[in-house]
Amino acid sequence: MTPTGQGRKPLIVAENMTAGYELERERKLLTALEGVSLTVHDGEFLVLVGPSGCGKTTFINVIAGLVQPWSGSVTFNGKPIDGPGEDRSMVFQDYAIMPWRTVEQNIQLPFELRPHDLSKSDVADKVQAIIGDVGLTGFEKSFPYELSGGMRQRVGLARAMVTQPKVLLADEPFGAVDAMTREVLQAQLEALVMNAGQTVVFITHSIDEAIALGDRIAVISNRPGKVREIVTVDMDRPRLAEGEITTHPRYGELREHLWNLVKDEALGAKDAHHDDDISTGDSRLDRLATSPATTMDPGI
């Protein structure tokens, strides 16, 4: 099976888009993205990588309708994005689930917040189906404090996907879990997306994760972020259900190319901002990109 989204129509189109935010304490504006032109195709899994503070989160916040661009344009299905919509859902790095609600209550929350024509039994069926898809059967009545970190993130993923949104926006959703759990979650996400045909824009600091999940990988430059290069991951799916992806003939070549791109931006970000946080799972890059003197930027 070929990568998802291949040959499909443009769905999200950013044209010469500049965006940023206000630093309230300093009373100044900070440009996070500058002159970004990038197209996300219908059914595509697009991954964004780049130094911390380069504008990756700002980009998906613009798509989500949470941030308005300062100039340029971003359209969804040919129409300007002017606010949040039920056709877009978001998964965050932190678990972002309500501690006083059970697993099934957290997952059904979108149906409580958005108008719909489904009966209670239909909603319950959809909730139970997605609970099974993410491997949480038997934990429907559990509260978040009773779950592991990986299970909590599955709740967040299920909540984002239960309404079958057109677009899933994911901001480092697996960054807080251990390596083994991350691989399981990656495989589950790939299966869910392939089954539903959703479009995904996914942020990660891991080159390995980007290759494992992405149809294309957009490498973002130092702040103000620009699209430095878009790399196509020409590997068939499913990639994660069987075998080890690192044995694929193209894996090493893709990883080396991405490593060189990201390394240049990581070192440039350290020189310019002293605030980098790139990870490939390789201790060499960890040593280059982090140090005791490094101060972390907001995830913008």
Q: What is the pLDDT of residues 172-192, one digit of tens each?
A: 999 888 888 889 899 999 999
Cα dihedral 256/295/179/4 (nearest 10): -60
Report which of residues 268 and 83 the model is more confident about: 83
Q: What is the pLDDT of residue 299?
A: 41
Q: What is the pLDDT of residues 137-150, one digit of tens each?
A: 999 999 999 999 89
Q: What is the pLDDT of residues 194-209, one digit of tens each?
A: 988 999 999 999 999 9
The CATH number of the domain where 220 resides is what? 3.40.50
Length of the chain, in residues:
300
Q: What is the pLDDT of residue 6?
A: 55
**In a domain? residue 126:** no
Q: Where are the alpha helices (DSSP H) in 54-175?
A: 56-64, 103-107, 109-113, 120-133, 149-161
* Boundaries of domain holding 213: 1-83+204-292
**In a domain? residue 30:** yes
CB atoms within 10 A of CB 22: 10
**In a domain? residue 91:** no
Q: What is the pLDDT of residue 7?
A: 63
Residue 250 has pLDDT above 60, yes or no: yes
Confidence label for 5 from pLDDT (cuts 50, 70 and 90): low
Q: What is the pLDDT of residue 93?
A: 80
| Domains in the chain, number | 1
Residue 217 has pLDDT above 60, yes or no: yes
